[in-house]
Amino acid sequence: MFTAFKEGLTDKVKENYLKVQNYEGEADKIKRSIIRELSSGFIHPIDREELIRLILTNDDIATYLKAASKRAILVDPRLIDDEIKDYIIEMSRRIVESVKKLEEAVLTITSKPSKSLELADEVERLEEEVDEIRIKALAKILEFCDKTKTSLCIIAKDIVDSLENSEDRCEDAADVIRSIAVLRT
């Protein structure tokens, strides 16, 4: 979606936003289903608590990504500075990488807890990179704000902040994975 945003393809951005919205809705259904299952089966309370934390943190990742996407449809992307859009793409790519690492960490948590811990460390590294990109993006946004409409400035900052919040939740999910992996060893 943010590649289309960078290229100024407004229709493609809107089309991709609808996909993001649908995926986030599907994720909400899965979250509710898992929580219902956790409440009805026998799972040790500590494990149940950690699993719920992991589910809710992952839900937050999707929520922040949806928020960033929703903001992108509010403006003509051609009016946003290209360098800001480059930062948005850099942040998005790292978030995708983090989510893939989180998925792998969850899949290996019982069979290879040490691998899960390694992957959690990689997510933390990516979160630190996103923080650095955000600072650069904010500096560029402040410069952009001096010569554009306030509304464009606000949207650009909100997109960057929502992406950074999503990556923060990736790190939070990695912390939960660490906790579960340590309980498994």
> CB 106: neighbour CB atoms within 10 A?
17
* Residue 20, pLDDT score: 94
- CATH number of residue 25's parent domain: 1.20.58.220
Give the residue from 4, 183, 181 showing the smallest Cα distance to 92.
4
Alpha-carbon distance of 142 to 134, in angstroms, equals 12
- Which ranges of the chain does DSSP label H, i.e. alpha helix? 2-6, 10-40, 45-72, 82-108, 113-145, 150-184
Per-residue pLDDT of the chain (185 residues; tens, 9 = 90+): 999 999 999 999 999 999 999 999 999 999 999 888 888 766 666 677 888 999 999 999 999 999 999 999 999 999 999 999 999 999 999 999 999 999 999 999 989 999 999 999 999 999 999 999 999 999 999 999 999 999 999 999 999 999 999 999 999 999 999 999 887 66
Count of domains for the chain: 1
Note down the domain range covering 71.
2-184
Phi, psi of 117 (to 5 degrees): -65, -40
